[in-house]
Structure formats: structure tokens, C-alpha cells
Structure 1
Amino acid sequence: MSSSKQLHLTAFMRPVSLHTGAWRYPGAYPDANFNLKHLKSFIQALEAAKFDAFFMADHLAVLNMPVEALKRSHTVTSFEPFTLLSALSQVTERIGLAATASTTYDEPYHIARRFASLDHLSEGRAAWNIVTTGNPESSKNFGLDEHVQHSERYKRAREFYDVVTGLWDSFADDAFVRDPESGIYVDPEKIHTLNHKGDDLKVKGPLNIARPVQGWPVIVQAGQSEPGRQLAAETAEVVFCSPRDLEASKLLYDDIKGRTKAAGRNPDHIKILPAAMVLISDSVEEAQQKRLKLDSLVHYDSAISSLSISLGTDASKFDPDGPLPPEEALPATNASHTSRASVIKLAETEGLTVRQLAGRYGGYAGLAFVGTAETVADEMEQWLEEGASDGFTVTLPFLPEGLDAVTQKLVPELQRRGLFRKEYEGTTLREHLGLPRPGNRFFEKEVSNAVNGGSRTLAMNGKRDLDVDDDLPEVKKRKAQS
């Protein structure tokens, strides 16, 4: 199978492995999730392998699990994403730096400042993963007794996105004169005060930091519910998702790309990157044995707790050796609807007991490619060719061995097939992903945007989509300087 397409690969690195048993695997670094020296070596290995980005999730509370499970979890301590990525930006040069930030439990001015700063510190490599926060325990750390309702979280997220991107456009790209002779530092005609007053947010502006190098940091969206898909179609440039298999991913891919087109955006300007745990060994049998060993390291206390989190209800009260109760018998939840639906579907499809479901969810229940570099490359190529994804968000089974296998065995095989870059061609994350630089809605009267092979012109009215070709003066200047 040969392809003219190329894969995009990001690495999901907070926690450094999603598998509960990762820190206990023989040869693994038990403190990998909270050791700066190790994290530096991980990101530098990924950059040497030419990965698009290093992607960090975030938790605003200790995971809501019983203490018997919590004491076995390597997620209990992790670096705050912006602090860590700012440090890692100084020991890397090209790899993108993606951080999760909540629209439910933070303010748009904070988010706009942090990402603009990270984009400047990294010279154009930042990305914002928009989340509405699924963990109900988070609310209790922000003055609330109850989690904000699912529909309200997404409503706020949509307005939040408009405010953050509006703040990023506070300054024209050429606003800063910095002329010692005249004493003029900034042209006041090229500063825009947002004065946003909406249903959920009120923000004056302007942002007190220059426009990001990329115009806007890359927008990532994680969520597969109905409102999540629509939010992605209207705002996202990368979608982090978790389909269970090839066919499910095709349906998701077509749905989001179709919604993107309906929203008046170019579907090529949104990359669908499903999460996939990748475990590479010298034979398929050996890889499978490593997976079994890894799964065996998950204690039942952790397993049943993880299942409870995914269901949004206490699963320990169910008969361990009986089937999962039908959906209509499960208590209502205000946690992630997508996670619950995945559990129910898996239970029905494979006829698993509660104990078996817990074992799966206690380790890692998502999409996994387990095999040799050649067999995994075959699967990835199939997904790309059949329109199931534009690449993958790679999760690692254990570190450092799992990372070394991906970077030293899988990546060279993908490069040999022409499916993955051998060198970075650009300097910014947008350039790695083939995404245009957004025009400034307040200081560029008209922006051309290619949609479906055609062209249309948008007035700068603060509405998305503001994708532009690389023919703007400030873009040409930046490219010439680099």
C-alpha cells in the first residue's frame, strides 16, 4: 500500500502513560511523570523523531477514586502544564507544545495570556487543548459544590473561545514601533479593546501581550459528544479523540469533517488524531506478551475505580461477576457522556462482566496498536488511506522502553514508506500541521479563505473562520527572518 498522504504524530505525555500499570513495568521509571530530567529526555527523543507535538492533559483535582485506588495511581502528582512546557520550550527547537486548559474553571484573560506567552517563548510552537472538564471533583476546588452542567459547560466554552481568540487579536502584527528617536513604543491605532459582554463572560481587554507568533496558537479540541463535535467543527484545528476501532473512526472523521464544511471552514484545516497506545516489539507474539504483563500489574482496586470514573457512577456496588446494568438502570451522570457510552458499548459488544470491564478500564481500554514496527505501520497506513484519521495521538505503554521502540523502530519504518517526515520543513507548529496563520479580525479588512477548492472573502467581524494563506506582509517578513 502506498500513499501520497503523510501522518501527523503527537505524543500524549501527561501522564506520561495512560496505562495504570506503566510505572510498575520492569525497567520503567516509576517517577517518570514527575521528573524533569526524564521529561527533558522524552521530549528531546520525540523531537529527534520529528513528532509534530508533545501534548499534555491536565487535571484540576486529584482523580475521584477511593484512597485504596488512589494510592496506586501515578497521576496523583504531575507538573502544571504551562510551567513544564515553558521549561521544555528552552531545551527544544521545533516540536510543538500542546497544553490543556479548562474553559469551565478558568478565565479567558488568563488563558489568552498564558498561551500567548508560551507561543512567544517557543517561537511559535504552542497549542491550546480546549476542555470543559469532565471530573466533577474539580468544582470543589473552585468554590462550587456541584459540577457545572454538561450543556452549560459547552455553551460557556464556545463563548470562551471567541473571547480568547479576540484577545489574541488585540494588537496588529506591526503595532510595536519601538522607535528610540520619537519615543514611540507602540502605535495606539493598532491596539483593539475587545469590550466583550456575553451571556457568561464579560472581558474588556486589550490583552497586555503582543499577538502570538502563530497569530493564534493551534486550537485543539477533545470530546466526542454531540456538543463536543460541534465545538470542534466550529473552532478546532486538531481533534484529539478516542474511537474504538477503524470503522468507528471513519464515522467520526466523516461527521466532524462534514460539520466543519457546513460551518464554512476548510475541512483540510482540521486534523483528526485519534489516541492510540502503541506497543512495539520484535515480534507480534512478544508485543502481546508485554501487553499482558502490563495489564497484570493493575490492582483490582484501581481497576474498579477507573471503571467508576468512566461510567460516572460507583461501579463497586455492581455484581463483579455479573453483566453491567442496562443504560437506563444506571444513575444519571454529569461527567463525560462519551466515556460512559464507550463503556456501555464495549460491555454489550464483547459481553464482558463488570470484573472484566474493570480490568480493561483499569489499565488502558482505548485503541491500541500492538505488534512489530511493520505490522503497526500497516495499521496506521490503513487508517490514513481509508479516511479514518490524519494521524495519531500516540500514547506510550511504559517509559523509557516504550518510547524508544516508537522513536527508533516505528518512526524509521514510517519514514521508509514515505508516511512521515524525515525533517521538519517549518519552524512553527502550524507549519508542521499544514495549517494557515489566522488573520487579525480587527486589523485586516478582508481575508481570503480557500474552502472546498474555491475562495471566499470574509469581513473581519470577529467570527471564525479566519484562516489565511501565507501571503500577508507580516508572514512574509517572519518567514524571511527565519
Structure 2
Amino acid sequence: MHGTASHPRPVHLGVDLTDAGTHPAAWRAVGSSAQRRFDARRLVELVATAERGLLDLVTFDDAFSVRPGRGGAHGRLDAALVASRLASRSAGIGLVPTVTTTRTEPSHVSRALASLDHLSDGRAGWQVGWSTAPVEAAGSRRGGPERTADAVAEADEVVGAVTALWAGREDDASTARDVASGRSGVRETLRHVDRDGIRFVVDEPSATVRPPQGRPPVVVRVTSPGSADLAARRADVARVRAATRDEAVAVRELLRDAAADAGRHPDDVRVLVDAYVVIGQDRASAQARLDLLHDLEGVDGVGWDTGSLTHVGTARDLAATVEDWTTAGGADGFVLRPSSLSTDLDAVVQRVVPLLQRAGLFRTEYPGTTLRDTLGLAGPGRRFAAIA
């Protein structure tokens, strides 16, 4: 790495805290704390570690079905409730749960995430989820789309409805109540929201006070042409997969061009590449850890096929990759996906982040109090007519 490296904008780093790590066998590794999977104190500890590294945000996946695996089916805690639990036990870092649009009413999504934004003093984000899984449809009276394109189209409509509900009060709306006169400042600033989607109707005012951020950042995972279009039109953060730097450059430029075509400024979308990481003192020890995880999963002689950047090596090598990809225009940052949270998250915070800081690529303190501040996005006073 070059100690005098310059960068037009700080690198953004998030970390996925789903399960025990992204490798299927992470929960079986020594020290994985698998027995604490549903222990709130473990989650508090993980977020505190990420916060010590001044990371932008943490994400939590969610779904309405259990996940099959070699060790049996695995459940998860509700991501939005987990984030709410962590709100008062963290400071600075963004909390970004996945909330599905396929089987959740827009008014419920709006209220849950606006509440999280209040509980966290403006650090909430929303990772948009959708599903076409038959097992999920079977457990829902509402049913759902059978094709991914239809699910993404529905997600587009839901995001529009949710952002309209968030904007359903004036920017200067007051929550004060005049006890003597019996008048409520809130009641006078409500706006009626009328949205008619394929599987829902919103015909009501917002039931929740406007979020502190105005619009908590919307995160969209780009996995198809339809989701790329959704991200370009609606997202503040696009999570993409790219296995090489050149591929990342092409994907980022495609999204920025699509955002411009949708009437947005390209800089209003942060493009973060998913990076799967196994960190060791040297490359051989990192590979040995990955081989052990493969053995635990019963996978013999095959690689870790993630479909995106996969780093198996040292902290210094990972920091160099971050510098290389971001300065080349391949990413605004990365969502790090540790193979094992118990090992790799500590390595990111203790070894990777200091290298990036010394290179002038990463912050030494949080730039403000909200997630929008951290991501360098416009504040709550801005109107989002172009993407609402």
C-alpha cells in the first residue's frame, strides 16, 4: 500500500453479521459461539467490534422460511427486531436489517423502520428483500409472485410506497402537543398517501412520526437486470457482486449511468461490492482455515464459489485490494462477508482498518450522527421526488 495515497472520497465499509459467518460450516468451527446464535449479548459484542473499527454499517439477512443445511434446518431472529434491540446499545454505526417486500405491508415496513430510526437516533437503513420461494408462499395468506421479475417489480412499488409514507409529514413537522388547547402539532402536518400496487393498497396518512433521517438509506442487492434497475431508481446503496476489478468497474459505471437516466445524480448511489474474506497471518494459514471449513462441510477439493470478490490471504493484501478497486473506480466501498465472524471480524477491525487509515482511505472518526452522514448522502431536508 502507498502511505501517501489520495482518494476523492472515503472508502465505505460494511459487514454482514448474518449467522456465524458466510461459510456454511462457520457455525461448526471452534470458537464460533454457535450455541449463542440467538443470544442478544453476542450480537451486541459483534456490533461493538464493528463500531470500534468505525465501519459504516452492519447488515442482517432475514427470510420467512428456515434455511436447509447439512446440520439440519437453521432459523433466524427477526432482523428488524434485532436491529431495534441493538439501537440503544450502539452509537455511530448504521443498523441495516433486511425487511421483505413480498409478504409485508408497506405501512408495516414504514413504521418498523421509522421506529428503528428514532430508537437509533438516525442510524437505520433498510435492505430490501423479496422472495419467490414456494415454501414462503405456502406459509402466507397473501401468497406472492412466482417469478423473480415480478417480485422485483413488487419491491419497486413497495419502496415507493414506504418512502412516500416516510415523507408523509412536513420537513418541519413538530411532535409537540399543546396540553392546554388540546391541539397536537403532529395532526396538522399529516399528508395523505395514496398508492395502489399489484398486491397492496396504501390509502392513509403515515402513522409514524417522520424518521430523523427523513429517508433511512435504502439498500438493494443487485442480482439480476431487474434488481439493477431497482437499485438505480430507488437505492442509496447498491450491493453488487464482482469477481474482478474490471468487472466491478463495469458494473459500477452501468449503475451510475442507469441512475442518471432515472433523473438522479450518479453520486447519490453508493456502490458496494460484496467481499468474502478469510484472513490469516499469511496466505497459507488463511487457506488452511478455509480448507478446514470445507472439510467440516464435507466439501472435498472445490473452491468457495461466492460469485464475487473472494479474499483468502493477509490483512495487508485485503487492504491493498480495497485501495486498488476503489481508486480504479470499481467500488465506493465493500460489504465484508467474513467466513467466520468469530475470527475474521476481529482481523478486519484490528488489522485491515488501521492499514486503510494510514493510507488515508478510511475515516478516523464518524463524520456525523446519522447513517446518511456516514455514507455522505444528503440529509433529511432534501426532497426525494426523483425516487419516491
Match of 2:177 in 1: 178
CA drift at 1:28: 2.3
- How far apart are the structure 2 equivalents of 1:70 and 1:184? 60
Q: CA deviation at 1:368?
A: 1.5
Please give the per-residue CA displacement for 1:260-291, whole angstroms capped at 9, x wherever unaligned: 11111111111111111222222222222222
Superposed CA deviations along residues 172-226 of structure 1, whole A, max 9, x for unmatched, are: 2324342234332225442111132344431112121100000011110012311
List aligned pairs for 1:29-428, cutoff 5 A: 29-63=33-67, 65=68, 69-72=69-72, 76-143=74-141, 147-172=145-170, 173-186=172-185, 188-300=187-299, 360-361=304-305, 366-428=308-370
Q: Residue 28 of structure 2 aligns with which residue?
A: 24
Assess if the C-alpha contact under 8 Å between 2:132 and 2:151 holds in 1.
no
Cα distance in 2 between the residues matched to 1:145 and 1:110? 17
| CA–CA distance in structure 1, aligned partners of residues 59 and 20 of structure 2 | 10
Instruction: Give the letter for the 1:380 counterpart.
Output: V
Q: For the residues of structure 2 that align with 1:164 and 1:146, how far apart are their CA atoms?
A: 19
2:125 is paired with a residue whose SS is: strand
Instruction: Tell me: CA distance 1:247–1:121, structure 2 relative to 1, closer, same or farther (3 Å).
Output: same
Write out per-residue CA displacement over residues 131-163 of structure 1, whole angstroms, 9 at most, x where no aligned residue.
222534221111377753222212211211111
2:6 is equivalent to residue 3 of structure 1: yes
Counterparts of 2:275 and 2:154 in 1: how far apart (Å)?
29
Q: Which range moved further: 285-294 or 270-279? A: 285-294
Identity %: 31
CA distance in 2, matches of 1:71, 1:405: 27
Q: 1:414 to 1:32 in 2, by over 3 A?
A: farther
Deviation at 1:20, TM superposition (A): 0.7
- Structure 2 residue identity aligned to 1:3: S
Q: Distance in 1 between matches of 2:102 and 2:128?
A: 10
Q: Which has the larger radius of gyration?
A: 1
In 2: Cα distance, 1:44 partner to 1:241 partner:
26
Task: Tell me how many residue pairs correspond in the alignment.
Answer: 383
- Mapped contact 1:9–1:51 kept (Cα < 8 A): yes
CA-based RMSD: 2.1
> Could you tell me which residue of structure 2 aligns to residue 472 of structure 1?
none
Q: What stretches of structure 1 of length at least 5 have no aligned partner?
A: 301-354, 441-446, 448-461, 467-482
Residues in 1 aligned to 2:355 and 2:134: alpha-carbon distance in whole angstroms: 42
Q: 2:17 aligns with which of 13, 19, 22?
A: 13
Structure 1 residues 187 and 27: CA distance shift in structure 2, 3 A: closer
Segments of structure 2 that go 5 or more residues without pairing to the other structure are none
Distance 1:390 1:146 in 2: 34
TM-score (normalizing by structure 1): 0.75
CA contact (8 A) 1:128 1:218 kept: yes
Matches within 5 A, 1:393-472: 393-439=335-381, 463-465=385-387
Q: Does the 8 Å contact 1:123/1:213 carry over to 2? A: yes
1:50 corresponds to which letter in structure 2?
L
Contact kept? 2:97, 2:127, Cα under 8 Å: yes
